[in-house]
Amino acid sequence: MARTILTLTGPDRLRFLQGLVSNDLRRLPEAGILYAALLTAQGKYLADFFLVDAPDAVLVDVKDSHADLLEERLTHYRLRADVRITRSDTGVTLGTGPVPEGALPDPRDPALGWRLYGGAAGPEPAGRDALRIAHLIPETGIELTPDSYILEMDFERLGGVDFHKGCYIGQEVTARMKHKATLRKGLVRVRLEGEAPPPGTPVLMADGREAGTLHTSAGGRALAFLRFDRMDGPLVAGAARVLPDQAR
């Protein structure tokens, strides 16, 4: 597990983030931790992260692969806000067993356990991919890519978007998808018969038309991004047969 912690300090930190990210920062002092995303003006995904309430600061817990991008964007939008953005050596440990003192619940799903901030980073828990698949949790840089819309990636179910907070970058497109459109594609859990192909393998219909893309797989199950109108017929990804494992 490779995570970077950005620390935001200064009196404008909550107001600054409130105008940028998909969740409502007014909830952070009580919740202690929120899941959120930064989007493009066109409503597409840039980065997802956890916002953690800390004394006189907000910690932004982001995957290493997206830390530079997120820090650059936050710095770009800072303008005259009284906010300082620095990197911290705070470690992140994940677990699903007994909850240590000071740990915070993963806000996406109770099955994901807890996150503990401080000290050295802990190792990646075993079976994390299988757990994500079982509970339909997208991962940064795998299921969540620059082509993603967060509602197609179940951010509403994961508590990562708030529809009452007011404006933020990409809010107009996200709200329109929520209120004026029926989603035609999204993240689903599937079963695999045969050898699992690598992430990114196209999922094809019997006539060769593309139905979507296969992503993380473990133990004969996988996450796939599929068109809902192409899920009913025979599907294949590489040499594996793909069988939707949930109703939409």
pLDDT tens across 190-229, in order?
999 999 999 999 999 999 999 999 999 999 999 999 999 9
HEC assignment per residue over 88-152: ECCCEEEECCCCCCCCEECCCCHHHCEEEECCCCCCCCCCHHHHHHHCCCCCECCCECCCCECCC
In the chain, where the domains are located: 3-180, 185-244
pLDDT in tens, 142-200: 999 999 999 999 999 999 999 999 999 999 999 999 987 789 999 999 999 999 999 99
| pLDDT for the residue numbered 248 | 46
What number of other Cβ atoms are within 10 A of residue 101's Cβ?
A: 5
Question: Is pLDDT above 60 for 56?
Answer: yes
pLDDT tier, 1 (very low <50, low <70, confident <90, very high otherwise): low
- Phi then psi for residue 37, to 5 deg, are -140, 155
- Phi then psi for residue 144, to 5 deg, are -90, 110
Question: For the chain, what is the mean pLDDT?
Answer: 94
Cα atoms in the 13 Å half-sphere on the side-chain side of 141: 9
Q: Give the CATH fold of the 3-180 domain.
A: Gyrase A; domain 2 (3.30.1360)
Q: What share of the chain is helix, strand, coil (3-state, %, to 5)?
A: 20, 35, 45
Q: State if pTM tops 0.75.
A: yes
Q: Which CATH number fits domain 185-244: 3.30.420, 2.40.30, 3.30.360, 1.10.10?
A: 2.40.30
| pLDDT for the residue numbered 233 | 82
| Span 25-37, average pLDDT | 97
| pLDDT for the residue numbered 23 | 98
